[in-house]
């Protein structure tokens, strides 16, 4: 899939994985619409080829509006979902049972939000002219190694990311007739703004648990994997772990 003279949408595009991905796609010639919440966009870097649009991934109308902005910039070929939340809580903790509303919110943002963006973007992609190989677009969703190795306190997060992994193959099969591929990346521990508040000692401990390379992953490495998936036409229906061979311990 060629990126030049096409448009792309990246959710969670104002920071971390999304910001690195938006920049990488723009560098390869795509006009990128980076979706994020207003508070995130206020802190977002200025990048040539990246347009920021405030939208909540769980709001159908806001997502449709952002997709419309992208479609006006060129044929929509690439959609990457990086938006997500990851609060921690045990099923039974010191304060009682897991907040049921919190559980539902995590699943709603991480799983339903990802599905909403994928479904609505696919509708837009399906209306574009295919390239010479019959391709219309690529969707890259973001799971986590927590989908496979969820730790204590990650029951909501692991549930939501497990759902993203679980829908990858059927989504690819559903959208094959439209020339749209679907793949998922399951990152390990990535050096994102979320980890910026953690002490160096804790960060070093996290890095020490990674077999090789013994460090945290970088957002730019996630972005590089996204561009590889987009450009690799035979990669479809796959979940790729990007974790340095890390397998998470129970806690």
Q: Where are the domains of the chain?
A: 7-241
pLDDT at 12: 97
Per annotation, catalytic residue among 52, 103, 157, 222: 157
Tens digit of each residue's pLDDT (9 = 90 or more) over 170-217: 999 999 999 999 999 999 999 987 777 667 887 788 899 999 999 999
Note the maximum CA span of the chain. 59
CB of 7 closer than 8 Å to CB of 30: yes
Question: What is the spatial distance between Cα 49 and Cα 18, in angstroms, rounded to a whole number?
Answer: 14
pLDDT at 201: 81
pLDDT at 197: 66
Question: How many CB atoms are closer than 10 A to CB 138?
Answer: 26
For this structure, is 157 an active site residue?
yes
Interval 48-76 mean pLDDT: 98
Average pLDDT, the chain: 95
The CATH number given to 7-241 is 3.40.50.720
Question: What is the spatial distance between Cα 218 and Cα 28, in angstroms, rounded to a whole number?
Answer: 19
pLDDT over 70 (residue 65): yes
């Amino acid at each position: 899939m060629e990126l030049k003279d096409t448009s792309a949408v990246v959710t969670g595009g104002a920071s971390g994985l999304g910001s690195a991905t938006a920049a990488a796609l723009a560098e390869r010639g795509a006009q990128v619409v980076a979706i994020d919440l207003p508070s995130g966009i206020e802190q977002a870097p200025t990048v040539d080829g990246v347009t920021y649009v405030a939208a909540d991934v769980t709001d159908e109308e806001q997502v449709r509006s952002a997709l419309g902005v992208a479609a006006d910039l060129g044929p929509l070929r690439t959609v990457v979902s990086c938006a997500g939340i990851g609060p921690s809580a045990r099923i039974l903790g010191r304060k009682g049972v897991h907040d049921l509303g919190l559980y539902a919110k995590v699943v709603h943002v991480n799983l339903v939000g990802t599905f909403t963006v994928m479904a609505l973007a696919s509708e837009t992609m399906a209306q574009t002219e295919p390239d010479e190989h019959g391709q219309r677009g690529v969707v890259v969703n973001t799971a986590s190694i927590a989908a496979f190795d969820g730790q204590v306190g990650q029951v909501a997060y692991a549930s939501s990311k497990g759902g993203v992994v679980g829908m990858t193959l059927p989504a690819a099969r559903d959208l094959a007739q439209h020339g749209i591929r679907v793949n998922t990346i399951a990152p390990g521990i990535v050096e994102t703004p979320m980890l910026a508040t953690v002490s160096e000692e804790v960060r070093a401990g996290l890095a020490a648990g990674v077999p090789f390379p013994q460090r945290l992953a970088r957002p730019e490495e996630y972005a590089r994997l996204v561009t590889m998936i987009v450009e690799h036409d035979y990669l479809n229906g796959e979940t790729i772990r990007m974790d340095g061979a890390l397998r998470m311990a129970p806690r």
